[in-house]
Amino acid sequence: MAETQPDANGQTVDGASEYFRNTQRPKQLSKHEALAKEFIQYHVETNPDRRIAIVTSGGTTVPLEKQTVRFIDNFSAGTRGATSAEYFLQADYAVIFLHRQFSLLPYSRHYSHSTNCFLDFMDEADDGGVIVADEFQAKMRRVLQQYQHAKKNRLLLLLPFTTVTEYLYALRSLATLTKPLGPRTLFYLAAAVSDFFIPADRLEEHKIQSRETADGKGSGKKLIIDLDPVPKFLKTLVQQWAPKGSMVVSFKLETDPELLVSKAEESLSRYQHDCVIGNLLTTRKWEVVFITRDRGEKWIRVPKARRSKSFSGVENMVGLADHKKEPEQIDLEGGTVTEGMEIETLIIPELKRMHDDVIARQERH
């Protein structure tokens, strides 16, 4: 489905409008809209200068049946989004965390997806109660204090989605609801959104059956799936949905170092938003590149001495995608509550500085 296409009368319609016309409104959307509206209104009334970051996180599913048993999924555990949400909160933003259900969440991520069983963090107290084991006391206290601060001050709203349709409906609603905030809204689009889907009128009603072939040799039938492209919503978000003057940040993930910067530049040019954060699959935990209209290409890297270990990372690929071949950035500011330095400790302060400039420009005009 293209960004624009002619309707039955020959008039041009955008792909996003066509998508919403042909997909059913999710059942839980009204509840999520009510929660978001109340959350936004609370901060508008209690702190007119409060900024709100809408952080999207995790992958989206594409159902193959109406009564869904099988679906196509995305590669994403929600690490970038959940980690970034914590650092946005530390930067004094309120955060609406639009996340894939059961993916990583801010604060609980430190324990919920650990290779250790959660019970390994616990000990039995002498009085028969349950306590945190001594070796985890300091770290868990820091995480707990940050979580309690966010909860007490109503700074974090969690809104789950599962399918790509649920995600897109929620994003459109949140963009509309944040209109009163104007440039104090920041969209941080870290979710891995499906590129293809099956229109509702082509979905099977029941579970797709697996049967033996007619020759009785036991070889299974081929399953051929006809997918339509999900329309590109980013330009519609920037031009129509988002509050005027708000800041929109997207991500570009690539596997080929030769393509990363050019693909990120292409995305920025096409959608005309504020920033594309490019990252390679193999080095995403250690380096990213900011592509912006006025600042060009800027690399942010965790210093080598402070990089956490990564099973999926390839250390010798750091710097290969850098067109400018700048020396590694040495920035030891920022704290972390996990082993090694999380690159989000560097990403979020840089975005906040950019957001300061966006707001200042709007105020001058």
Q: What DSSP state is assigned to residue 91? A: T
In Å, what is the CA distance from 179 to each residue of 69, 88, 227? 38, 20, 34
User: What are the residue boundaries of the structural domains of the chain, listed by start?
Assistant: 13-112+143-206+224-244, 250-364
What is the C-alpha to C-alpha distance for residues 310 and 341, in angstroms, rounded to an integer? 12
pLDDT at residue number 219: 53
Pairing label, strands 228-229, 130-132: unpaired
Note whether 192 and 75 are within 8 A (CB). Answer: yes
pLDDT at residue number 15: 85
Residues 6+ apart with CB under 8 A from 46: none
pLDDT at residue number 326: 61
Helices 137-152 and 79-90 sit at what angle, rounded to 10 degrees? 70
User: Tens-of-pLDDT digits for all 365 residues of the chain?
Assistant: 445 555 544 444 578 889 999 999 999 999 999 999 999 999 999 999 999 999 999 999 999 999 999 999 988 999 999 999 999 999 999 999 999 999 999 999 999 877 788 899 999 999 999 999 999 999 999 999 999 999 999 999 999 999 999 999 999 999 999 999 999 999 999 999 999 999 999 999 999 887 654 444 445 568 889 999 999 999 999 999 999 999 999 999 999 999 999 999 999 999 999 999 999 999 999 999 999 988 789 999 999 999 988 888 898 899 999 977 665 454 444 443 345 899 999 999 999 999 999 999 998 87
pLDDT at residue number 296: 82
Fold observed for domain 13-112+143-206+224-244: Rossmann fold (3.40.50)
DSSP 3-26: SEEE-TTS-EEEHHHHHHHTSPPP
pTM of the model: 0.90
Pairing label, strands 4-6, 12-14: antiparallel
pLDDT at residue number 167: 98
Give which of 236, 277, 235 is closest to 253, Cα–Cα.
277
Pairing label, strands 196-197, 12-14: unpaired
pLDDT at residue number 213: 44
